[in-house]
């Protein structure tokens, strides 16, 4: 394997990491506030469809992005209504949202475009185009660093950089602001937040809304950045892998970056080498594609590290009377 | 909150939830420029208007009874088993291994062994998440979701590399021997001189599913184990205080649940396809969630809800055939039923509580 191949794989890993990272951070906000969200998959799918459909009709990727975010936020509102307002089962609500998105995207896609659930292929202004970062030219003469900067760091679409910036942004918001402190507290011990005179439902609604916006970005990137249009079930379990990454990251932003990059890298390697030959043994593609799920189970079982979820996660808060 | 009368809790709440789900589905049909009344007519005629339609409706309902019971048994122990899909796929593997292992002389010999195979493989697939929950505290919802993906990957690999007969291009197992073909309901009707459900896949598994309902009812409400499962599901601390061992209940309840999900395979793999196909469960494991929620985790409710979803499935297929409404409409209805009966339960319940409280 030469340097150029490694760079190509890393480049592809960064692209594949981005939707996972956005969805993982989305889940982080929601779950840190005590609202479990297994509906990340559905929100991403809905956003991917809305973004691709809007971009295909209007020809503008930015309008697509807005539509994607709005649709994911709408799904989030359903989840908030069930989880916060009506104190329902958050897991069941997440399952329902996944099916709702799966059904609606296929139903609407088929009846609007008649392409078997696909949207028309996007091109030109209907897709995100790569951004060349400043300094690519200047660094191009340097042997190892130059190609690395040009191939892996520069040349991605805008949402990749947005996702990367969201990692320090989330860290700062969670650990350096009053809002972040309250958000974390509401996921650990909502009663104490309530006693301090801060509204538990309002904080949770804020977290659920942020979660909607981020899954919206993730879905829009999937359909208009990573690929050129929507294909049915195109999230293909990414919402669940993001959830796995969130557990792997122990609900922390920087570790989320590491975990999603690892899962992105695994996908990139699996795409490039369907049958990975390690010399002494050939790993079948099935193992490569199953690896994120297997890792999650092993992590959950506590054999590598220890997953400590937010303590009040999944429980609706009932004010004492 | 006011406690609802029993009949309202068992009948009114699910019916209102269902009405809401249908009302929103009608709006969705309107929004794609179709007529919801026409759609309903096509569905009712297609699924219930002939013995052919009924044959398919009962075939689908059989799958959903098994998976609905699976989700319900776990739910009685306070566990949310989202893994019925993977467990049902593994059950298919169990059936296929049994059916292909020996030259079975008669289906009557093959069926009991296939049932054991199906239940065993389904139960084993539920065992790992169960033991991880019981001993290591891993959240069963996440592990069972992961096990669905693992089951899909495993079966994909097995069907392509191991079970595929030489020379075949399909990722599917070899055909089962003729002698393992289960008697279809249409043959059984013909034996007593009635012409019913010609060329439909409904088979003897439907009767086995009904028997399973009775057995689950007996287990949950008439045995000490069932009492322990329910006690644990209501309050883990109280159950612990009463001397019930949590780890034991989690593992047993999940294995029964997985076994029931696995048993579904005698219907779709042995009764219908006659070989193991890729993605054999076709989402029935997930429909089990909707069926159990709608049927309030009671076998009678589950049979009714499974019939409803069987009707929706067959009606949806007819819809795709005769109108331009895609059959994915069923997924939307399924999602809305789960949403209203499972997550937004209180939204339906609160106004009703006020209504009954006011009297």
pLDDT tens figures, B123-161: 999 999 999 999 888 888 889 999 999 999 999 999 988
Percentage above 70 pLDDT, chain A: 98
Closest CA to B294 of B3, B65, B92, B23: B65
How far is Cα B257 from Cα B78, in angstroms, rounded to an integer?
Answer: 12
Does residue B347 sit at the A interface (CB-CB below 8 Å)? Answer: yes
Q: Does residue A69 lie in a domain region? A: yes
Q: Tell me the Ramachandran region of residue A30: left when phi exceeds 0, alpha when psi lies from -120 to 50, beta otherwise.
A: alpha
Residue A116 burial (10 A CB sphere; 0-12, 13-18, 19+): exposed
Determine the pLDDT at residue B166: 86
**A residues 156..195 contacting B (CB < 8 A):** none
Kindly report, residue by residue over B174-183, the tens digit of the pLDDT.
Answer: 899 888 888 8
How far is Cα A136 from Cα A154, in angstroms, rounded to an integer?
Answer: 7
Determine the pLDDT at residue A100: 95
Q: Does residue B310 lie in a domain region? A: yes
A26 near A211, Cβ under 8 Å? Answer: yes
Candidates B160, B343, B353: best to mutate against A (most CBs of A within 10 A) is B343
pLDDT at B1 over 70: no
Q: Does residue B72 lie in a domain region? A: yes
Partner residue opposite A102 with nearest CB, options B139, B331, B350: B331
Kindly report, residue by residue over B38-61, the tens digit of the pLDDT.
Answer: 989 999 998 998 889 999 999 999
Mean pLDDT value of segment B288-312:
93
Contact at CB, A96 and B328, closer than 8 angstroms: no
Partner residue opposite B324 with nearest CB, options A87, A111, A247: A111
In chain A, how long is the greatest CA-to-CA distance?
A: 70
pLDDT at A221 over 90: yes
Determine the pLDDT at residue A304: 65
pLDDT at A126 over 60: yes
Determine the pLDDT at residue A288: 77
Determine the pLDDT at residue B349: 83
CATH code of B62's domain: 1.10.3470
Determine the pLDDT at residue B88: 97
Percentage above 90 pLDDT, chain B: 54
Determine the pLDDT at residue A299: 77
Q: Does residue B5 lie in a domain region? A: no
Does residue A111 sit at the B interface (CB-CB below 8 Å)? Answer: yes
Partner residue opposite A96 with nearest CB, options B324, B326, B343: B343
Partner residue opposite B346 with nearest CB, options A38, A86, A297: A86
Partner residue opposite A93 with nearest CB, options B147, B328, B343: B343
Chain mean position to CA A317: 26
DSSP codes, B284-299: HHHHHHHHHHHTTT-H
Give the chain A residue whose CA is nearest to the CA of B148.
A293
Does residue A107 sit at the B interface (CB-CB below 8 Å)? Answer: yes
Give the ranges where B77-166 is alpha helix by DSSP (H): 84-101, 107-136, 140-161
List chain B residues with CB under 8 Å of A237: 149
pTM of the model: 0.90
Give the chain B residue whose CA is nearest to the CA of A302.
B136
Mean pLDDT value of segment B288-299:
92
The parent domain of residue A198 ranges over 3-128+140-240
Determine the pLDDT at residue B359: 54
The parent domain of residue B96 ranges over 12-25+35-352
The helix or strand, by DSSP H or E, that contains position A212, with its residue range, turns out to be helix A200-221
Partner residue opposite A111 with nearest CB, options B153, B326, B344: B326
Determine the pLDDT at residue A164: 93
Partner residue opposite A100 with nearest CB, options B157, B332, B346: B332
List chain A residues with CB under 8 Å of B29: none
Buried-state track B143-175, b at ≥16 Cβ within 10 A, e below 16? bbbbbbbbbbbbbbbbbbeebbeeeeeebbbee
Contact at CB, A106 and B328, closer than 8 angstroms: yes
Total number of domains in chain A:
1
Q: Does residue A253 lie in a domain region? A: no
List chain B residues with CB under 8 Å of A100: 332, 335-336, 339
- Average pLDDT score, chain A: 88
Does residue B137 sit at the A interface (CB-CB below 8 Å)? Answer: yes
Percentage above 70 pLDDT, chain B: 99
pLDDT band per the 50, 70, 90 thresholds, residue A139: confident
List chain A residues with CB under 8 Å of B326: 106-107, 110-111
pLDDT at A17 over 90: yes
**Coil, strand, or helix at residue A276?**
strand
Total number of domains in chain B:
1
Determine the pLDDT at residue B358: 59
Does residue B149 sit at the A interface (CB-CB below 8 Å)? Answer: yes
The helix or strand, by DSSP H or E, that contains position A282, with its residue range, turns out to be strand A282-283
Q: Does residue B260 lie in a domain region? A: yes
Mean pLDDT value of segment A40-59:
94
Residue A164's CB is within 10 A of a number of other CB atoms, namely 17
Q: Does residue B357 lie in a domain region? A: no
Contact at CB, B328 and A90, closer than 8 angstroms: no
List chain A residues with CB under 8 Å of B332: 99-100, 103-104, 107
Give the distance from residue B144's alpha carbon to the nearest chain A alpha carbon, in angstroms: 9
Task: Map tokens 């557990």 to a residue.
Answer: A247
Candidates B142, B151, B329, B332: best to mutate against A (most CBs of A within 10 A) is B142
Partner residue opposite B346 with nearest CB, options A88, A97, A243: A88
**Structure token pair of residue A57:** 């009709």
The helix or strand, by DSSP H or E, that contains position B31, with its residue range, turns out to be helix B13-31
Closest CA to B284 of B259, B303, B306, B300: B306
Contact at CB, A96 and B342, closer than 8 angstroms: yes
pLDDT at B73 over 60: yes
Contact at CB, B345 and A38, closer than 8 angstroms: no
Give the chain B residue whose CA is nearest to the CA of A247.
B142
Determine the pLDDT at residue A138: 78
**B residues 299..338 contacting A (CB < 8 A):** 324-326, 328-336, 338
Give the distance from residue B323's alpha carbon to the nearest chain A alpha carbon, in angstroms: 11
Give the distance from residue B57's alpha carbon to the nearest chain A alpha carbon, in angstroms: 21
Does residue B346 sit at the A interface (CB-CB below 8 Å)? Answer: yes
Determine the pLDDT at residue B197: 79
Contact at CB, B28 and A104, closer than 8 angstroms: yes
How far is Cα A306 from Cα A241, in angstroms, rounded to an integer?
Answer: 18
Least confident of A188-197, A299-308, B36-45, B149-158: A299-308
- Average pLDDT score, chain B: 90
How far is Cα B61 from Cα B57, in angstroms, rounded to an integer?
Answer: 6
Determine the pLDDT at residue A183: 93
Kindly report, residue by residue over B225-242, the tens digit of the pLDDT.
Answer: 999 999 999 988 889 898
Q: Does residue B2 lie in a domain region? A: no
Does residue B1 sit at the A interface (CB-CB below 8 Å)? Answer: no
CA distances to A27, A43, A130, A158, B36 from A74, in Å: 16, 9, 29, 24, 24
How far is Cα A230 from Cα A64, in angstroms, rounded to an integer?
Answer: 12
Q: Does residue A59 lie in a domain region? A: yes
Provide CB contacts within 8 A for A303, sequence distance 6+: none
Q: Does residue A293 lie in a domain region? A: no
Does residue A254 sit at the B interface (CB-CB below 8 Å)? Answer: no
pLDDT at B169 over 60: yes
List chain B residues with CB under 8 Å of A86: 343-347, 350
Most confident of the following: A108-117, A118-127, B229-238: B229-238
Q: Does residue A262 lie in a domain region? A: no
Partner residue opposite B28 with nearest CB, options A92, A107, A296: A107
């Amino acid at each position: 394997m030469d340097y150029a191949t490694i760079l190509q794989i890393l480049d592809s890993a960064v692209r594949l990491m981005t939707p996972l990272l956005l969805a993982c951070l989305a889940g982080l906000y929601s779950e840190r506030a005590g609202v479990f969200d297994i509906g990340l998959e559905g929100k991403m799918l809905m956003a991917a469809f809305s973004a691709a459909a809007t971009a295909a009709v209007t020809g503008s990727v930015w309008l697509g992005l807005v539509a994607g975010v709005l649709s994911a936020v709408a799904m989030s509102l359903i989840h908030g209504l069930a989880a916060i307002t009506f104190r329902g089962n958050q897991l069941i609500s997440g399952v329902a949202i996944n099916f709702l998105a799966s059904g609606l995207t296929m139903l609407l896609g088929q009846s609007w475009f008649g392409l078997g659930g696909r949207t028309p292929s996007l091109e030109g202004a209907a897709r995100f185009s790569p951004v060349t970062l400043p300094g690519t030219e200047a660094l191009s003469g340097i042997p190892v660093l130059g190609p690395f900067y040009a191939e892996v760091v520069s040349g991605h679409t805008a949402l990749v950089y947005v996702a990367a910036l969201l990692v320090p942004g989330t860290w700062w918001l969670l650990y350096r602001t009053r809002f972040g402190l309250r958000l974390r507290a509401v996921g650990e011990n909502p009663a104490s937040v309530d006693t301090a005179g801060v509204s538990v439902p309002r904080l949770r609604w804020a977290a659920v809304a942020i979660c909607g916006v981020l899954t919206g970005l993730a879905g829009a990137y999937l359909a208009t950045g990573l690929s050129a249009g929507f294909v049915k079930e195109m999230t293909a379990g990414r919402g669940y892998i993001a959830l796995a990454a969130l557990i792997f990251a122990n609900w922390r932003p920087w570790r989320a970056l590491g975990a999603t990059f690892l899962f992105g890298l695994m996908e990139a390697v699996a795409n490039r080498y369907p049958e990975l030959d390690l010399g002494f043994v050939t790993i079948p593609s099935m193992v490569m594609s199953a690896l994120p799920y297997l890792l999650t189970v092993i992590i959950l079982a506590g054999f590598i590290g220890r997953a400590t979820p937010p303590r009040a996660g999944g429980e609706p808060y009932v004010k004492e009377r | 909150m006011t406690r609802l009368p029993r009949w309202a809790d068992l009948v009114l709440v699910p019916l209102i939830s269902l009405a809401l789900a249908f009302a929103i589905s009608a709006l969705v049909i309107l929004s794609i420029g179709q007529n919801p009344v026409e759609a309903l007519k096509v569905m009712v005629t297609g699924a219930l208007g002939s013995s052919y339609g009924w044959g398919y409706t009962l075939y689908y309902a059989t799958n959903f009874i098994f998976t609905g019971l699976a989700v319900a048994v776990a739910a009685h122990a306070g566990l949310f088993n989202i893994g019925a899909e993977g467990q049902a796929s593994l059950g298919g593997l169990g059936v296929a291994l049994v059916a292909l292992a020996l030259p079975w002389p008669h289906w009557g010999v093959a069926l009991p062994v296939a049932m054991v195979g199906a239940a065993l493989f389904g139960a084993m697939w539920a065992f790992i998440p169960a033991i991880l929950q019981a001993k290591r505290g891993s959240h069963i919802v996440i592990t069972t979701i992961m096990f669905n993906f693992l089951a899909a990957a495993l079966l994909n690999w097995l069907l392509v590399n191991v079970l595929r007969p030489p020379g075949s291009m399909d990722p599917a197992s070899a055909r089962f021997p003729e002698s393992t073909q289960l008697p279809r309901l249409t043959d059984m009707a013909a034996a007593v001189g009635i012409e019913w459900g010609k060329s439909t896949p409904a088979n003897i598994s439907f009767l086995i599913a009904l028997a399973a309902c009775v057995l689950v009812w007996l287990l949950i409400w008439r045995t000490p184990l069932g009492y322990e499962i329910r006690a644990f599901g209501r309050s883990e601390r109280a159950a612990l205080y009463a001397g019930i061992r949590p780890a034991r209940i989690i593992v047993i309840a999940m294995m029964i649940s997985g076994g029931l999900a696995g048993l579904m395979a005698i219907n779709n793999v042995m009764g219908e396809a006659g070989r193991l196909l890729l993605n054999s469960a076709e989402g029935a494991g997930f429909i089990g969630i909707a069926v159990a929620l709608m049927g309030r985790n009671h076998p009678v409710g589950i049979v009714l809800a499974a019939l409803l979803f069987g009707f929706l499935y067959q009606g949806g297929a007819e819809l795709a055939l005769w109108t331009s409404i895609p059959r994915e409409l069923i997924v939307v209805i399924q999602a809305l039923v789960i949403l209203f009966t499972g997550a937004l339960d209180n939204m339906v319940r609160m106004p009703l509580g006020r209504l009954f409280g006011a009297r």
